Structure 1
């Protein structure tokens, strides 16, 4: 069997040298990419068990179905599917002739084993409606449902439902996705240096790309090197000077500069997430709902969009991207800047403004910690948030962590406030960040509430149709908003930039995100 194994850690200078080698070796069909800030810190390429994945994952693993930019679903490893009228069974016909990177076959038995592997993981919710899986024949599989799941196709198209080799998954155990990541995708993992870079090499046998790509395989590019560059100014400079060929996630304040660069092209796509500030409800003073409500009114989303993001993107008013129907909540629940009301709420809570501009109660200053990740965009946004909190008399001290460490701090319940972002275009993100079953991380708000969990479970498990699901998630979303668990800040666009003298990128980009289907059509400019 062919397993790509992890190499020893490179020195910093060797990594930099390697990056420049890949980016300048156009004849060898090698391309170097920098991850966006929101994708930094993945610790494994294990779609079944990981809580954080990145774009490279979509090149290692294929999915049964793919989602296009218009939200429609397209065949991939499944060529067709049929749902029974009562929603209690789904039958999938599988693509013939597909093999995993370890030369084992993709078939109905592999799908059966793959679905079973989610048991006991954080991602089990994606398949929990599936009661059992029947192998009808080698290329036909039936999901017998415990309940209808109107969100099933979306789940199957997500990055967390890439199909791994059952053989490799069983043999490697906890090392799967670290020492080797074995899927059916167009690229194989050659090396993975956590927090540094991932190198993928072309799967020469690949001929089964989805119809979201013009090229069905093999890929045009021999090697993709994905680098983690926490400082976005550095990543931006490397794009301009040839150190990288493509930058996933361009800060908006760099867009005008890039537009002046003759060799740089920018692709702008609708955003699929928001930036927000979770509030730890177990950490005083935020165990007081009045303080939480005041905090939500302290942040001026409109000025942040204008000043920090140059007017690109939109203010976030609740926890979901505005294109989702579940974001259409009671208008009175949408979060808006109101510093006068924030001040009145803090007065009501007993926090009196001090002579130095910091509020006091019973001799205690209203001083809090404010966590953020070490990327240029997050630190800049967090500094603005700090200044706006100061306007209502809240003194916030910023602590910057790398992307992996900050999740450990959340799990330790060491935080009060944080500035972070998510990338997900489905309402089940509410379950991910607010279910009482996920305290610490991803439930950074540390919120555990009986009625909230009931609404969560109804939305996740008792929706028989798409319309019921929308209604149930809207009700859950509105209840969350009434608890003041977070401050929505910004709804970004997806900004991707590339060196047009080095590579060509398809236009338009298919899919809701810049993922594997687009990389299949990238070519080196000779």
Structure 2
């Protein structure tokens, strides 16, 4: 439901995106590959000298709707730069301090206490205080479109200048996610008073970059915070960034993005299309970095439609999907097939459940046809399309303009035709896909979700929150609510495993794959991506050209 890498992060989430994380059991990896070069020996080249200063340019896949972290549903590297999180995870996945130097949870799980650092100041020079943190948390709980992520907050107190206490009506295990992201980061209270609803136009906080210049449809530019000295504990550089400026360019056309990168006008190319990877690997000086997304792509059903109230229809569609051609041909092999409700990159993933789902929904056209026949769908006139009560078995598949998703949709269209299902592909923008899904004006859709906590299932499947697949199951509701209040990790994961078993037998969707995100870099030194948060440590990067 979210992702940030900080989508690079997807509130993918359901289509949202954030870099919120809970447990150190992600299977994300980061691999660097050098280009292969030519057969003949290369002429000796002088090593480029890294230097401080200059402008770092990133081609970003998505332009943020706002720089206000509490009004957006999408946090990623583009709009999170002015901010810091209370906590983080290091490169091994261990929970570590950031703006909060220590934290504790009460025995009953209802009170979270944060002890803040005393040396942090806002971009304005004013000290960061517990009162500022209190105001920011309260503001999120009041105005954010995703405020439910913070859980049942009862009140927030600043008990002294550097201590914040957050009280809950009941234990809320996923709150750790909020402390790892920038939704509830301390915001400068004076700028909040000055700008109010327009805070996102000129935000002030504590992050490594500040003073954004926004050119809608083109770019977003930050300058470094020269007073920054509280970087991540796992960063090589915990002080001010080496580069003077950070520029995100928003180039929608893949050919343009690749051309600009090859010309050297872009240093970091995020989300490289799989069709260009081999080409870029052969460009001298280019490095390819890969990591598994903290979420997955899925084929969603609108479960409130009558056709999907027959579980046999949903199961038949799931059996008709062959993921291997999707991964190999639509994604050039840069993905992992998934069958169960949670991928390996999200805590709560169960190999038992994954194997159960893989066995139950192994590619089987004949069995899928049999299930459809039992549900009343047969091809009576020999045209290849099944009918029921004289009506052809035809469904609309809604998806965004993402070229990879369009390739996936075409493969699904051909596969589902094998069982007599006529798929009509409808391509539109992401906002329309989400809007139609929320309104229930859809049948099938392709979307992504991501959140590094099994609470994503509550946000996707609990009756009152299921705004995409419109799923409802009282037993699942009960289990997902229990998962939110169970603080002991092992017990909590067992609760989700029980819920996932139900979701396999009564599928609200067809899980498809986890993408392998590919980033290309050039003319820089010090690039690293935290596989547990999805954050690029821009403060560590120096230009070499």
TM bucket (normalised to shorter chain) is 0.7 to 0.9
Q: Which position in structure 2 is the counterpart of 1:338? A: 364
1:19 aligns to what? none
Contact 2:136 2:184 in 1 (8 A): no
Question: Relative CO higher for 1 or 2, CA cutoff 8 Å, sep ≥ 6?
Answer: 2
Mapped to 1, the partners of 2:93 and 2:278 lie a distance apart of 30
Distance apart, 1:375 and its partner CA: 2.0
Residue of structure 2 equivalent to 1:13: none
Tell me if structure 1 keeps the 8 A contact 2:53–2:244. yes
* Number of aligned positions between the proteins: 489
1:486 is displaced (CA, Å) by 0.9
Q: Distance in 2 between matches of 1:122 and 1:457?
A: 21
Query: TM-score, normalised on structure 1?
Result: 0.85
Q: Give yes or no for contact 1:41–1:403 (8 Å, CA) kept in 2.
A: no
Matched-pair contact (CA < 8 Å) for 2:348–2:453: no
Q: How does 1:414-493 map to 2 (within 5 A)?
A: 414-439=441-466, 443-460=467-484, 462-493=485-516
Q: 1:136 to 1:264 in 2, by over 3 A?
A: same
Q: Distance in 1 between matches of 2:372 and 2:91?
A: 44
Does 2:56 correspond to 1:31? yes
Q: Which residue of 2 aligns with 1:512?
A: 532
Cα distance in 2, alignment partners of residues 306 and 134 from structure 1: 53
Q: Give the secondary structure class of the aligned counterpart of 1:136.
A: strand
Does the CA contact (< 8 Å) of 2:486 and 2:492 recur in 1?
yes
Partner in structure 1 of residue 83 of structure 2:
61
Partner of 1:15: none
Structure 2 match to 1:358: 385
Q: Deviations over 1:48-70 (max 9, x none)?
A: 24222222233121000012343
Q: Is 1:51 aligned to 2:73, yes or no?
A: yes
* Residues 287-436 of structure 1: pairs in structure 2 closer than 5 A: 287-324=309-346, 326-328=348-350, 329-330=352-353, 331-334=355-358, 335-353=361-379, 354-436=381-463
The match for 1:8 is none
Structure 1 distance, partners of 2:332, 2:158, is 54
SS in 2 for 1:119: helix
Q: Supply the distance in 2 between the matched residues of 1:169 and 1:95 (Cα, whole angstroms).
A: 21
* Contact 1:79 1:94 (8 Å CA) reproduced: yes
Query: Structure 1 residues 367 and 475, CA, compared in 2 at 3 Å: closer, same or farther?
Result: same
Name the CA shift for 1:339/1:126 in 2 (closer, same or farther; >3 Å). same
Partner SS state of residue 274, structure 1: strand
Aligned to 2:111: 89
Alignment CA distance shift 1:95-1:274 (3 Å):
same
Q: Give SS of 2:308's match.
A: coil
SS in structure 1 at match of 2:154: strand
- In the other structure, the counterpart of 2:305 is 283
Task: Give me the whole-angstrom Cα distance separating, in 1, the residues matched to 2:134 and 2:151.
Answer: 14
Structure-2 residue corresponding to 1:525: 544
Deviations 1:355-399 (A, max 9, x none): 222222222122211111112222222222222222222111222
Partner of 2:47: none
Q: Per-residue displacement from partner, 1:409-464 (whole Å, max 9, x unpaired)?
A: 2233222111122232221111222233335xxx311223433322222222x213
In structure 2, what is the Cα distance between the partners aligned to 1:355 and 1:170?
Answer: 69
Whole-Å separation in 2 of the counterparts to 1:137 and 1:479: 47
SS in 2 for 1:191: strand
Pair 1:154–1:301, CA change in 2 (3 A):
same
Are residues 1:185 and 2:207 paired?
yes
